[in-house]
Amino acid sequence: MSIHLRPIERRVLAMRDSGMDDAEIGRRIRKSPQRVSAIAEWAALPGRGVARSQDGVLSPLQTRVVAMRAEGQSHAEIGRRLRRGEHFVRQVEGLAHFRQYLDLLG
């Protein structure tokens, strides 16, 4: 079982692994058996339960903000273009640089 699933997904899968049927699980978590089945199916979809790559890859927003800053645009200008505040843009840029720094460490 993966730690990257939502709590309800982990709970449903754990109950299924212990041998409970969907009707019993549904009764315990106050969901219909059909809903329990759907939750279990969603948890098994590709990409669920898999950690996102944290190897220095920036999010699209972080990439764009860093590129705009490299072009010489101010935080305020970027904020206006992205319809965000200047403080938000500063945070995004800072987190992008921090993520790149962590990648350099290792």
Tokens of 60: 């699209």
Domain ranges of the chain: 7-43, 60-105
Q: Which run of H or E residues covers position 83?
A: none
| Chain segment 64-91, per-residue pLDDT in tens | 999 999 999 999 999 999 999 999 999 9
| Chain segment 21-46, per-residue pLDDT in tens | 999 999 999 999 999 999 999 988 87
pTM here? 0.49
Say which amino acid occupies 82: L
